[in-house]
């Protein structure tokens, strides 16, 4: 039941994400970006940009948290590799880690796609850049939601101590919220960049959760034999 609910939610969030892209291409498009770049929903985006100018301090914090999010991804990659070394077979590595690897690859593919298929450019040119950069969807928002969100889902499986597990999940959720809000408050993105990143991340995480539930249900119906080499 939960599996189907998450699948439906994933489709709903993806539909909203695509609808947002359509709106950005068709509604209230004006050259309010750097070097006259055109931005959809310009009145809304422009108002938020004027309210939230660039803040280097908050920007630096979000950059650090982005590195932390990458460290979380690396930790799960190391876990999967260690299982492969111990169990001496790819087939014996946890299914959850295969699904997580697929999620990471999908996020990377989305990032590359939107670097080429530009929807919006940043509200301004960063000091270390020479030209406008693609900014939709916010890559830091997607990174934060996917890395910390997937960790939130998987931590109970790999941390046996309930208090430590709860603490790490709380830290994951807090880091995700701080990074997403910080990216908006730093002024480095349009409001719709953040919203697009959140919608896309929600679609990906719901699909990931649906896949996890699917394999959990199959495992419960057909319990595997004890694994060797753990």
Model confidence over 19-46: pLDDT tens digits? 999 999 999 999 998 888 899 999 999 9
Q: Kindly state whether residue 155 falls inside one of the protein's structural domains.
A: yes
d(CA 99, CA 211) in angstroms, rounded, equals 8
Local structure of 134: helix, strand or coil: strand
Q: Kindly state whether residue 46 falls inside one of the protein's structural domains.
A: yes
Q: Kindly state whether residue 55 falls inside one of the protein's structural domains.
A: yes
Picking from 84, 222, 74, 99, the residue whose alpha carbon sits closest to that of residue 157 is 99
Return the pLDDT at 219. Answer: 59
Q: In this structure, what are the phi and psi dihedrals at residue 30, rounded to the nearest 5 degrees?
A: -150, 155
Q: Kindly state whether residue 97 falls inside one of the protein's structural domains.
A: yes
Q: In this structure, what are the phi and psi dihedrals at residue 214, rounded to the nearest 5 degrees?
A: -60, -50
DSSP state of 34: G
Q: Kindly state whether residue 35 falls inside one of the protein's structural domains.
A: no
Question: Domains in the chain: how many in total?
Answer: 1
pLDDT tens track for 75-107: 999 999 998 888 888 888 888 898 999 999 999
Residue 72 belongs to what domain range?
2-27+42-123+131-216
Give exposure, 1-33, as e/b (b: 16+ Cβ within 10 Å). eebeebbebbeebbebbeebbeebeeeeeeebb
Average pLDDT over residues 50-63: 90
Is pLDDT of 179 > 50? yes
Q: Kindly state whether residue 229 falls inside one of the protein's structural domains.
A: no
Is pLDDT of 52 > 60? yes
Q: Kindly state whether residue 226 falls inside one of the protein's structural domains.
A: no
Is pLDDT of 226 > 50? no
Mean pLDDT computed over every residue of the chain: 88
pTM for this prediction: 0.87
- The percent of residues in the chain predicted with pLDDT above 90, rounded, is 61
Q: Kindly state whether residue 227 falls inside one of the protein's structural domains.
A: no
Task: Look at the block and give the residue holding tokens 């997607």.
Answer: 142
């Amino acid at each position: 039941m939960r599996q189907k609910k998450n699948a439906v939610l994933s489709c709903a969030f993806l539909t909203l994400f695509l609808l947002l892209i359509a709106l950005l291409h068709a509604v209230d498009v004006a050259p309010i970006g750097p070097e006259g770049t055109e931005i959809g929903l310009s009145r809304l985006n422009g108002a938020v940009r004027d309210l939230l100018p660039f803040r280097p301090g908050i920007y630096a914090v979000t950059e650090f948290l982005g590195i932390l999010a990458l460290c979380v991804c690396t930790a799960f990659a190391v876990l999967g590799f260690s299982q492969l070394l111990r169990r001496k077979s790819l087939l014996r590595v946890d299914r959850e880690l295969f699904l997580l690897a697929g999620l990471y690859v999908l996020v990377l593919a989305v990032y590359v796609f939107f670097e080429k298929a530009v929807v919006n450019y940043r509200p301004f040119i960063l000091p270390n850049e020479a030209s406008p950069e693609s900014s939709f969807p916010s890559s830091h928002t997607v990174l934060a939601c996917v890395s910390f969100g997937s960790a939130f889902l998987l931590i109970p499986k790999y941390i046996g101590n309930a208090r430590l597990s709860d603490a790490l999940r709380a830290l994951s959720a807090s880091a995700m919220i701080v990074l997403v809000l910080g990216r908006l408050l730093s002024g480095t993105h349009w409001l719709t960049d953040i919203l697009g990143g959140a919608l896309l991340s929600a679609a990906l995480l719901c699909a990931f959760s649906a896949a996890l539930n699917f394999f959990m249900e199959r495992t419960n119906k057909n319990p595997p034999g004890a694994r060797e080499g753990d």
